[in-house]
Chains A and B, each alone.
Chain A
Amino acid sequence: MIAGQNEARRPRIGPAQRSRPEGGLRPVTEAAYPNWDAVYRDNVTWVYRLMYSKVGNQPDAEDLTAEVFMTALKPMRVSATVPEVRKYLKLTARTVLAGYWRDRMGREITTIDEDLPDESGGEVIESDAPDRVRVVLAKLPDNYRRILELRFLQAFSVREAAQQMGVSVANAKVLQHRALQTAARISEEEAS
């Protein structure tokens, strides 16, 4: 199913190669990878980071990254340009992530945007999440911002966070839950 959805977009010998000036050097944007090993080594880090930013945990990010490469690498053509390969990997990642969420949650919790990398060979790592997080945190009351920073950004346990804030563990749990609810509302407002 996943492979089928990407079938039509699979990179092949394409216009980029046909448009190469006769006798001229191949432009950088039309450079191709020499083999699958080069594709993997050049792209595995950004694919993993993209998936991590969408699921927030290492085991699932690793599984999804593996699925992307196992799905995408075999059908790729050696002549595909670097931008074509990156675009295809991102499309595959988008499909894999959507299937992951539908399977676990019955809906897509996070998505990979359709804004695909251009053909200039630029970086394809996408995420304005850290900026969004900063904006949301800045709009929270101090105690809400503090509990979320301690728990999510600084990896404190709930007990340690409670000690830092001078509240009970039970209060810290309630504070965290309410802070997340408020942050989610702000985040939704910011997005709309």
Chain B
Amino acid sequence: MSGRPVRRFVDGLLRGERTEPARPDDIEAQEMKTAIELRAARTGSDSPREEFVTDLHRRIAAAMDDGEQDDGRSLHW
């Protein structure tokens, strides 16, 4: 019988929080997977935030610039 790990996982999931570490058994893992599928099936919940898309673009640009300097040569692009 599953118990506390699944309840904690589901509570966090429904609050939109990060996944907390746990060590689920087979049954608990299946319940967690089902909970994720149910949560992900919520309409309109899976589009990335504009702020996230913009910020990640900026971080990648910075990383690409660093790569060029570290290598002392152009990257592949």
Contact = CB atoms under 8 A, between A and B. Distances in A.
B41 A57 contact: no
B34 interface: yes
Q: Is the interface of A mostly helix, strand, loop or mixed?
A: helix
Contact of A187 (B34, B40, B60, B75): B34
Contact of A40 (B16, B45, B60): B60
B36 A133 contact: no
Contacts, number: 152
A41 B60 CA distance: 12
Instruction: Report, as a range, how many residues of chain A touch the other chain.
Output: 35 or more
A187 B14 contact: no
A27 interface: no
Given A57-B18, A76-B77, 13 more contacts: A40-B57, A45-B48, A52-B40, A60-B18, A62-B49, A70-B60, A76-B76, A105-B21, A105-B24, A133-B38, A152-B35, A155-B14, A187-B37
Interface of A: 35-37, 40-41, 44-45, 48-49, 52-62, 65-66, 69-70, 73-78, 103-107, 109-110, 127, 129-130, 132-133, 136, 148, 151-155, 176-177, 180-181, 183-185, 187-188
